[in-house]
Amino acid sequence: MARFVRWYGSGPLHLLVLIASFALTGYAMVRLFAVRPLEVAIWFVGAAILHDLILLPLYSLADLSAHSVLRHRSDGIPHEPWINYLRVPAFLAGLLLLVWFPLIFRLAVPYPGYTGLSYDVYLGRWLAITGVLFAASAVAFTMRLRRVRRAARADEERPPPDPDGPP
């Protein structure tokens, strides 16, 4: 087993899941290309161009901005990897916006008839979900900071080791 892990870099379960995901992706690609090959190809090229030329620079700039704004803080605050507590809810909110933007921005014509919901509910629900995501992340970060501060206080209260005592 150790030889396999050294050769592959991870366990056999990881390899099995990777093979299964490639098989599922291949199956979906075969099914999609069989129905509408040109539209699927255009969608893939458009998605790659949209991501690489527009979205990647935008979220990289947002990440750098968050780093530069929030890096100046007092020394009393423990140094924790806080940026992930912003990245995760922002990513999830952005993903939801990407999936549901036609309904959120009232661009989809046939959907209200299919879902039975009016356009008025989607923007409010997306904003509510985004708020809950950021609030949950703030609570998780606060709990993490509290744990780190307690551990730092416990280390300060612990007496230093006796230099004449046993090692």
Q: What is the pLDDT of residues 73-109, one digit of tens each?
A: 655 555 567 888 988 999 999 999 988 888 888 887 6
Q: What angle do CA 157, 158, 163 make, to 5 degrees?
A: 135
Centre a 10 Å sphere on the Cβ of residue 72 and count the other Cβ atoms it contains: 6
Res 113 pLDDT > 70 = no
Q: What mean pLDDT do residues 53-71 have?
A: 84
Separation between Cα atoms, residue 99 and residue 2, nearest integer Å: 42
State the chain's mean pLDDT as an integer: 84
Q: What is the pLDDT of residues 24-37, one digit of tens each?
A: 999 998 998 898 88
Domain boundary assignment for the chain: 75-167
Report residue 100 as tokens.
């549901």
Q: CA-CA-CA-CA torsion for 31, 35, 38, 43, nearest 10 degrees?
A: -60
Res 143 pLDDT > 60 = yes
